[in-house]
Chain A
Amino acid sequence: MRRWVLGEFESSDALVAALKGLRARGFDRLDAYTPFPVEETFEALGLKRSKLPMLTLLAGLGGAGFAYLTQWFTNAVDYPLNVGSRPLHSVPTSIPISFELGVLSAALMVFGALMVLFGFPHVTHPVFEVEAFRSASVDGFWASVTVDGDTPSMDSVEEALRELGARRVSVVVEGAR
């Protein structure tokens, strides 16, 4: 059973300090919710680099290579057609299609991979069940720690959040109403 321990902080600075404190205490499955973008949280969360750029590069190169091979195969091997003695396999004229398919594949990969990495469809999240969490879109700065089963223990997380200055601590349980 997955649970989230949420702590509300008074300011973005307190949130950033708390996130750093949580990481220093060894909690690593963190998330942050703020009423407006706070650049420092990205750093404080210690997020890993996204896999998306590499996937996109591979899809782009794959699409471009596939388009080039297809043009070469149809024009020069499968159905050679002499048009005014032009070369059957011509590099410059193959590039636009290769480029287009490269861009299309990369764009589709961004869309598709984002959906998979997001866990789409995922239209809501249990944290929204907490009434106090509404302040995350007004004036509250929230940190959350994910707890799977018994690790890390609930008590230790709640204690850590209080020590770090959370003015309110709530627990959300997956699937509970």
Chain B
Amino acid sequence: MRPPALPRFEGGQRLQAISAGLGVLGLVATALGALLDVRRALFGYLFGFSYWLGLCLGALLLLAIFHATKARWPVVLRRALEVTASTAPLFLLLFIPLALGMRHLYPWVAPSLELGEEALHVLAHRRPYNNLPFFLARAALYFVTWGLVGHLLLRWSVRQDATGDLHWTSWQRRLGGGALPALALTFSFMTLDWMMSLEATWQSTVYGIYVFSGAFVGAIALMVVAGEATRQTQHFGSLLSPGHYHRLGTLMFAFICFWAYIAFAQLLLIWVAGLPAEVGWYRVRLRAGWGDVSLLLLLGHFVLPFGALLSRELKSRPRYLAIVALWMLAMHAVDVAWLLFPALSPERLAVPWTALTAWVGVGGLAVAVTLWRARGTYPVPVGDPYLVHSLQVRPP
């Protein structure tokens, strides 16, 4: 069996223009929000930024893991993962507003006396880690790591399209596997720096893995949605079989369980210990208001999709699996909001409207850049030696 003759991807101009337009509009609206209330607007912006960066990095980690495990079945998906993962440089640009507005977001930048003596003492103790120059240097290191790995994995894969040389496969595998520790560490420290340090003194050692597990589910869900959306076109979706969807569904199922496991492990340890320094984070999130969101996450991010994805039939049916994937992408937004916004409004359930505009703004630009990077390349890695194997995948 020969790989089908696929044209290079040249379409998507309209979608790219629409999403770029929406992106600019969303960011302008968020900027207007900043004129009204800088702190609320920045929180909204951080939400949009974290959500889409999480999906980009989730795709990068998924890609690196596929290379590290020498996986053959996902070769059909790989180009879509590669272009998604190579959008990290966009987020470097989008990071500028956060870097400029840090003192409105993070209590450690300019600790106010209202925090109390205890908290000020803790913040002073963390000064050698949490200070402006080191924070920015770390951010630079994260972006260099993500940008470099994403860029090289895409470039080597595209070069293999032309020549089919096997050494590109081994280069990608070496980089993918070798970069995993660096990617895991930068992701984990990124969540501590940009998300967890919103809370003045609270800390959890499992926080990075928690954010990762949610973003990873989101990245898998994104691939399912992208595949189903391009089923009728000449893009990679037309080559996906029920076998690919079954595998993606199984992966999503596994990482939904992993997310629940991590979330529960954190809750259980803090609940059992009952230490004043730790319980505050959950007190805010378990009271009325945010408590309802916690319940929604338990049911919507775990119980419902767990029950749905148990079914083998559902996982092999693209349409149904795409519905579950869309649901998970929405739940991931709830999850990110649940992590961030209680730091802004601990007393009652409130989400700034700039969260929506920033989500549309960052998302629009991210989609536009992804399409731009995909243009001119083949929809699948046509030079990959395992493409034919991947095309023959069937459900078990």
Q: How many chain A residues touch the partner (CB < 8 A)?
A: 8
Asked if residues A39 and B264 are in contact (CB atoms below 8 Å), the reply is no
A44 to chain B, nearest CB (A): 14
| Interface pair A92/B310, CB less than 8 Å apart | no
Q: Does B272 make an interface contact (CB < 8 A)?
A: yes
Q: Are A96 and B268 in contact, with the CB atoms below 8 A?
A: yes
Tell whether A93 is near chain B: CB-to-CB under 8 Å. yes
| A47 interface residue (CB < 8 Å to B) | no
B262 CB to closest chain A CB, in angstroms? 14
Name the residue on A nearest B270 (C-beta): A92
Q: Using CB atoms, name the residue of chain A closest to B267.
A: A92
Interface membership of A76, Cβ < 8 A: no
B156 beta carbon closer than 8 Å to chain A: no
A92–B271 contact, CB under 8 A?
yes
Residues on B with beta carbons closer than 8 Å to the beta carbon of A95: 264, 268
Chain B residues within CB distance 8 Å of chain A:
264, 267-268, 271-272, 274, 310, 394
Question: A39 — which chain B residues lie within 8 A by C-beta?
Answer: 394
Complex Cα spacing A39 to B272, Å: 50
Residues of chain A within 8 A (CB-CB) of B268 are: 92-93, 95-96
Give Cα A136–Cα B67 distance, bound, in whole angstroms: 38
> Is the CB–CB distance between B271 and A93 below 8 Å?
yes
Q: How far is the CA of A92 from the CA of B271 in the complex (A)?
A: 8
The reply to whether A93 and B264 contact each other, CB–CB distance below 8 Å, is no
A and B contact pairs by CB, cutoff 8 A, 15 listed: A39-B394, A57-B310, A86-B274, A90-B271, A92-B264, A92-B267, A92-B268, A92-B271, A92-B272, A93-B268, A93-B271, A93-B272, A95-B264, A95-B268, A96-B268
Please name the residue on chain A nearest to B264 by beta carbon: A95
Which residues on the A side are within 8 Å of B272 (C-beta)? Answer: 92-93
Main secondary structure of the interface of B (DSSP, over half): helix
A96 contacts which chain B residues (CB < 8 A)? 268
Contacts of B394 in A (CB 8 A): 39
13 new A-B contacts, CB < 8 A, other than A92-B264, A92-B271, are: A39-B394, A57-B310, A86-B274, A90-B271, A92-B267, A92-B268, A92-B272, A93-B268, A93-B271, A93-B272, A95-B264, A95-B268, A96-B268
Most buried by B among A57, A90, A92, A96: A92
Alpha-carbon gap, A96 to B274, bound state (A): 18
Question: In the complex, which residue of chain A has the Cβ closest to the Cβ of B311?
Answer: A53
- A93: nearest residue on chain B (CB-CB)? B272
- Within the complex, the shortest CB–CB distance from A12 to chain B, in Å, comes to 15
Return chain A residues, CB-CB under 8 Å to B274.
Answer: 86
The distance in angstroms between the C-alpha atoms of A95 and B267, with both chains bound, is: 11
Residues of B within 8 A of A86 (CB): 274
Cα–Cα distance between A57 and B267 once the two chains are bound (Å)? 26
Task: Looking at the assembled complex, report how far the CB atom of A16 sits from the nearest CB atom of chain B, in whole angstroms.
Answer: 14
